[in-house]
Amino acid sequence: MITAQPAGTPSYVLSEGPVWHAASETLVWIDIEAGLVLRGELDERGHINVINRTELGEYVGCAIPLDDGRMLVALTRCLAIVHTDGSVARSAELIPEHQRLNDGSIDPQGRLVVGSLTLSGDANDNVLLRLESTGELMVLERGLGLSNGLGWSPDGTVFYSTDTDAGTIYRRSYGAERVGEREPFIVFDEGVYPDGLTVDSSGRLWVAIWGGHGVRVFDERGDELTDLGARIPPPHSSSVAFAGPALDRLVITSASRDLDDAERMRWPEAGGLFSAPSDARGLPATPWLEAPLPGVEPDLGALQR
């Protein structure tokens, strides 16, 4: 295991969702609870310089950078496009008031897949949603505890999703028209909480462990590769991505949330980003094939770009 080093960012409440945007050679991530979308430049030492900070005033579950500078974001209960001038076009509300949208990613066909978690009440009625190219919203799964990290195999035929409350990463077959039945792929020990994940070019899963001080790695059979992975000093690693032009730098997000005063003094970089060089290579992010947001008239100009 390698030890990832602080990347020089501020300490956030709950940094999450790192995405490397190849067209601009920048990293995009969020602070979920502070309602922030952030963009930074990554240098050869692994330091990240924040160059843009957008405040949205509510929860942000994920942010997908678009090539023209806009962002597709999951807000508390709706999807939205954040324009370069800071204006926001919101969809209709998609989930009940006791839930919020959480981690999301673009599937191999260019469609957004995003899950939900419970803010109050029953914690086993969360869903996994997919925004179709027509603007229709499809429910891929119901009955989840806390939908979290998502990823696909390099050939796009296997879909992985995390239920943090269940301590389980599921897999199922995946295609343009059909999603197979889910099956448990990695079941963690009680008290181990898988969070965000990414899949590398060899098909291995890199999984951030909330409370686990870093990232664990599993092969395509679900066996842990104990000689790989990365550690960070603070306990709450929240997500992971490969960044840089060669997708050979590991970036790990973390949280300062749920730490008491003594723990924050012990780990002052908690909530910041960490990075480390890696022998593994990531997969390029699939661009979003722009679709109408539910309840919003489509931007015909944008759809033609």
Q: State the Cα–Cα distance between residues 160 and 169, nearest whole angstrom.
A: 7
**CA distances in angstroms from 72 to 47, 88, 167, 171, listed in the order given:** 25, 10, 28, 25
Could you say which of 31, 107, 195, 200 is catalytic?
Answer: 195
3-class DSSP assignment, residue 302: helix
Determine contact, residues 115/102, Cβ cutoff 8 Å.
yes
Question: What would the 3-class secondary structure string for 160-201 be?
Answer: EEEECCCCEEEEEEECCCCECCCEEEEECCCCCEEEEEEEEC
Strand partners, 116: 101
Burial of 192 (0-12, 13-18, 19+ CB in 10 A): middle
Please state, in angstroms and rounded to a whole number, the distance separating the CA atoms of residues 94 and 77.
6
- 279 part of the active site: no
DSSP-derived letter for residue 293 is P
In sequence order, what are the beta bridge partners of 128? 115, 141
CB burial string 138-158: b at 16+ within 10 A, e below: eebbeebbbbbbbbbbeeeeb
Beta pairing class for 15-21 and 26-31: antiparallel
- The residues annotated as belonging to the active site are 195
